Amino acid sequence: MPENTIDTTIPVLGESKIPSPILKSGRYSNLQCFVTDKQRVLIDVDMESINHLLDRGREIPAFELAGAREKIYFDPSKLRCAMVTCGGLCPGLNDIIRAIVLELSFGYGVRHIYGVRYGLQGLIPKFGHDLMELTPAAVADIHKSGGSVLGSSRGSQSIEEIVDSLERLNLGILFMIGGGGTLMAANRIADAVDRRGLKISIIGIPKTIDNDIHLISRSFGFDTAVDVATMSIRGAHNEAVGYPNGIGLIKLMGRHSGFIAATAALARQDVNFVLIPEVDFDLEGPDGFLAALKERLALRKHAVVVVAEGAGQKFFDSADSSRDASGNIRLQDIGLFLKKAITTYFRDADIPVSLKYIDPSYIIRSLPANANDNVFCSFLGRDAVHAAMTGRTRFIIGYWNDQFVHVPMEASAGKCRRIDPFGKLWLNVLEATGQGPLIRFQ
């Protein structure tokens, strides 16, 4: 239970002394809408865990509640802010960019807001990407399109050159929207900012379509991804039932965790096998996947298989593994591997099958967010601004126990949220698919 010992303190650049200008023009009493620093959200809501801590006289760990504060650190009239989107596309990027710009502009009156083009490349002079000036008018409709209006890129860049740029641009806040690699870079940038004695807030907004960030119960874009993934499952199901021994095989996103695969399977309820990184399985042998698939076909004449991209990596020679520009281990393609393995297995067994393979990844990543993610991203972006204006730094905006919270970058970095093979989600997948006894557990 490592959460018990988490340090949930968020560093600040200095004391917040300036009264917040939020909503002050109206008759709406802004005092009543501010969050205080004492408002904290328990990390663990399980009664037993809490009692266990209380019995030992230990403090109950809790995150700061996100939201507007009564006093702020930065002077809006002088502040210059920038934001950057890094790594793969994810539904909701434009919603967040828009929310940050609108909150900075209308909530706080900040007038100098910039978008960094093409990820961290945009802060490295040699790439020659100009900054975009971001105004409320410029971002008014961007949430209706997918992708990122700033563009993105993969790959690390020189931390010192980045901080040179931040200094040269005289920035007070940098919002970094990206995945694990980006958040680690954010940490290193914050280190360099500290070393130089600069007053620049570095805020992370965690992006992972796989929904697998430690201490973050929901990441933006995931809901949209599941929504659209079900369309592929519908297709695979129709193809499977359409032919004698029809097999629909869908590869979904999920490098380290199978949340998209498992959740989409629950949403559509037409899936017979879900293969995820968290649950080991064999191909061959009486308990292997192929024998189970054969049994299923004998029984029902069709099968739908969903595989997360990170599943079954044990089948590949680790010597082959390389890393992509973002530093992620380049996964071998389990989808194509399974396609071949299934085809070969049934050909050798002289059983004609009709296998259709679907890989919808890029269709999903590039979509506009659905309504649920629209709303979620709107909160994420605005809360990032509220926190940043108080001079907080080195944190990410998280979501925990139905609340938006501040999570220290260190607490979440480098760790991955994964499906518990004995938990409720996976139990329901086993029940919905009926694949239960066919898969061995780690």
Closer residue to its own copies (CB): 14 or 136: 136
Please select the residue that binds its own copies; options are 18, 23, 159, 283, rule is CB under 8 A: 23
Q: Considering only residues 370, 390, 393, 433, which one is a binding residue for its own copies as defined by CB under 8 A?
A: 370
* Nearest residue (CB) to its own copies, 79 versus 358: 358
The SS3 assignment for 355 reads strand
DSSP label of 312: T
**CB of 433 vs its own copies, minimal distance in Å:** 11
Q: From 163-171, 205-213, 265-273, 407-415, give the range in contact with its own copies by CB under 8 A.
A: 265-273
Examine residue 20 and tell whether it contacts its own copies (CB under 8 A). Answer: no
Give the interface segment with its own copies, choosing from 11-19, 30-38, 201-209, 407-415 (CB under 8 A): 30-38
Q: Point out which span in 75-83, 242-250, 308-316, 340-348 binds its own copies (CB under 8 A).
A: 242-250
Exposed (0-12), middle (13-18) or buried (19+): which is 338, by Cβ within 10 Å? buried
> Of 44, 164, 210, 223, which residue is the catalytic one?
210
Alpha-carbon distance 310 to 298, whole Å?
28
Contact by Cβ (8 Å): 309, 338: no
The reply to whether 5 sits near its own copies by the rule CB under 8 A is no
- CB-nearer residue toward its own copies: 48 or 320: 48
For position 7 contacting its own copies by CB under 8 A, the verdict is: no
Cβ 232 to its own copies shortest distance, Å:
6
Is residue 52 near its own copies by the rule CB under 8 A? no
Residues 149-178 that bind its own copies (CB under 8 A): 151-154
**Looking at beta carbons only, is 122 or 204 nearer to its own copies?**
122
Of residues 207-236, which lie at the interface with its own copies (CB under 8 A)? 217, 223, 226-227, 229-232, 234-236
C-beta neighbour count of 373 within 10 angstroms: 27
Around Cβ 158, how many Cβ atoms within 10 Å?
Answer: 12
Distance CA 12, CA 226 (A): 37
Rounded Cα distance between 228 and 323, Å, is 28
Tell me if 28 contacts its own copies by CB under 8 A: yes
| Angle, vertex CA 373, rays to CA 145 and CA 104, nearest 5 | 75
CA 409 vs CA 14, 29, 189, 362, 382: distances in Å: 18, 33, 12, 29, 19
- For its own copies, which is the closer residue by CB, 114 or 118? 118
By CB under 8 A, the residues from 63 to 82 that bind its own copies are: 65, 67-68
276 forms part of the interface with its own copies (CB under 8 A): no
Asked if 300 contacts 326 with a C-beta cutoff of 8 angstroms, the reply is: no
The strand pair at 40-42 and 62-65 is best described as antiparallel
Contact residue for its own copies among 3, 14, 15, 45 (CB under 8 A):
45
With CB under 8 A as the contact rule, the residue among 1, 54, 349, 351 that binds its own copies is 54
> How near is the Cβ of 391 to its own copies at its closest, in Å?
21
Closer residue to its own copies, CB minimum distance, 187 or 326: 326
Query: Taking the complex as a whole, how short is the minimal distance between the CB of residue 195 and its own copies, in angstroms?
Result: 30
Is residue 243 left, alpha or beta, with left meaning phi > 0 and alpha meaning psi from -120 to 50? beta
Phi first, then psi: what are they for 74, rounded to 5°? Answer: -85, 145
Contact 71, 12 (CB under 8 A): no
Verify binding: residue 363, its own copies, rule CB under 8 A. Answer: yes
Q: How many residues at the interface with its own copies, by CB under 8 A?
A: 106
Sites for its own copies among residues 89-108 (CB under 8 A):
89, 98, 102-103, 106-107
Max Cα distance, the chain (Å): 78
Distance between first and last Cα of the chain: 20
Stretch touching its own copies by CB under 8 A, among 73-81, 200-208, 309-317, 399-407: 399-407
Window of 10-18, 205-213, 337-345, 355-363 that interacts with its own copies by CB under 8 A = 355-363
Q: Is residue 95 among the annotated active site residues?
A: no
Q: What angle do CA 234, 238, 241 make, to 5 degrees?
A: 135
**257 is a site residue for its own copies (CB under 8 A):** no
Nearer to its own copies among residue 200 and residue 233 (C-beta): 233
Q: How far apart are CA 263 and CA 261, in angstroms?
A: 6
Show the tokens assigned to 305.
Answer: 């298989």
Contact assessment for residue 65 and residue 40, using Cβ atoms and an 8 Å cutoff:
yes
- Rounded CA separation 115/134 (Å): 6
Active site residues: 210
